[in-house]
Structure 1
């Protein structure tokens, strides 16, 4: 049941989200208004598990964060949703996605980090079968 719910979440996010022009974000760097997260926050350029992240600052805190592998290929779309805001009824609707292809979804807790300091959930949509492995290290 848990896998079914996660799969349905991924499909609903992908189906209902506003899409980017996939050609403009397929390779890093994506066109503006995206900025590289490590250029504006004290974070490494490549975060194991998340890759090299770009975000439109106007979409914070949820994102989407576009996640690229070491070769600059878009590998995932990441959302960072503060738990307190979710608990208080804040909804994040019509979030954009980096690619319509979603092969897996991970959701996990994060205690906070520069840029999204409060405890939050990471929702990671992987865009191809090998993406998770390429972002791991």
Structure 2
């Protein structure tokens, strides 16, 4: 229960500062500016992942991210963090995680057993920049 409370506290810390601004132009459309690279070009994954979208990450920020997720039209829909389960303990902190996508409408957290690029079990922390109804933009 303490682990869940710590994750929820981290989510609030992530989402509250992000609510103060709109989506910055440098990340609003795919591909984002800067050091972000298409995840499909870094590891063996499809270019578009149903439920997540097209992902971009700065390789230097792995494994946690942030990963920027875009819909089929290249519009940013979410920022995703992939936090290793082994690091969700009292000895490890994830401070000052950025929300480069701006406003956060809602947050989802779920377990993932691992996949190419982030092989170890981890928690997906998804900062949605679109409404719950607009999540369908990345459903397929």
TM-score > 0.5, shorter chain as reference: yes
SS of residue paired to 1:15: helix
2:121 matched residue in structure 1: 119
Deviations 1:47-71 (A, max 9, x none): 1111000001111111000000000
How far did 1:28 drift? 0.3
Compute the RMSD of aligned alpha carbons: 2.4
2:16 matched residue in structure 1: 15
Listed as ranges, the matches of 1:6-85 within 5 Å are 10-16=11-17, 22-85=24-87
d(CA) in 1 for partners of 2:33 and 2:75?
14
> How does the TM-score come out when normalised to structure 2?
0.84
- The range that moved more, 80-89 or 101-110, is 80-89
How far did 1:81 drift? 0.2
Moved beyond 4 Å, runs of 4+: 8-11
d(CA) in 2 for partners of 1:52 and 1:90?
29
> How does the TM-score come out when normalised to structure 1?
0.86
Deviations 1:62-84 (A, max 9, x none): 10000000000000000000001
SS of residue paired to 1:87: coil
Name structure 1 gaps, 5 residues minimum: none
2:139 matched residue in structure 1: 136
Name structure 2 gaps, 5 residues minimum: none
d(CA) in 1 for partners of 2:10 and 2:84?
18
